[in-house]
Structure 1
Amino acid sequence: MLFLTTQSLPDGLVIEQAFSMVMTSKTIEISNHNSLRVAMTGSNGDFDELLALLDDQAPADANAIIGIQTSTSIVHLPTGNFLYVTIAGTPIVYGES
């Protein structure tokens, strides 16, 4: 699966079919400074897991998700501090022009 933050494809590729937007969210506990650093650098696989969850939401025919946008929010609760991450994009089928 190709993941792009832009709406346009690289030169030589064209959109053959577009599907409805897909979205997924993940909660990451960041109660200590190390876990916040790890969450923001992606060294623990959380961002890869988010992309895999987004891929799972896309139709089986899709070979790319474009226009990916990310939203984050931090919530402080008595049980700890949490980073909520939401990621969304548009699944497409692309081919060579």
Structure 2
Amino acid sequence: MMVTTTETLPENLKIKSMFSMIEITYKIQISQKGLIKGFLERKRNEHQEALDKLIENAPSEANAIIGVKHSTATHVFPEGSFLFITYIGTPVVLEEKNI
């Protein structure tokens, strides 16, 4: 699936259909993970996991998400500090233009 931060498409593509905006918020623990958990998760790419969740939330007919924006926030809880990543985008069906 194509994921782009812009609303401008390559010249050879056009939007065939558009769906409602989708949004996900993903929580990443950034402190107090503990030695074992930190070791086991050292190869995880949690930012990619968050983006994958956005893609999973798109309608199955969509082949792209355009206009993707993200924001971050942090919060400290008794069990540790967390980073919250929010992604927002518009799922679309793209097709090639007949030129």
Q: How does the TM-score come out when normalised to structure 2? A: 0.81
Correspondence for 1:2:
2
Q: Structure 1 stretches of 5 or more lacking a match?
A: 33-42
Distance in structure 2 (CA, Å) of the matches to 1:14 and 1:82: 39
Misfit runs of 4+, over 3 Å: none
What percentage of residue pairs aligned between the two structures are identical?
A: 41
Q: Structure 2 stretches of 5 or more lacking a match?
A: 33-42
CA RMSD of aligned residues (A): 1.3
Output one character per residue of 1:16-40: Cα deviation in whole Å (capped at 9) or x when no partner. 11100011111101116xxxxxxxx
Correspondence for 2:92:
92
Distance in structure 1 (CA, Å) of the matches to 2:3 and 2:47: 12
Distance in structure 2 (CA, Å) of the matches to 1:76 and 1:49: 22
Secondary structure of 1:54's counterpart equals helix
Bigger-Rg structure (1/2): 2
Output one character per residue of 1:2-53: Cα deviation in whole Å (capped at 9) or x when no partner. 0000011112111111100011111101116xxxxxxxxxx73212211221
- Counterpart of 1:75 in structure 2: which amino acid? H
Query: Does residue 1:31 correspond to 2:17, yes or no?
Result: no
Aligned residues: 87
Distance in structure 1 (CA, Å) of the matches to 2:27 and 2:5: 22
- Counterpart of 2:30 in structure 1: which amino acid? I
Q: How does the TM-score come out when normalised to structure 1? A: 0.83
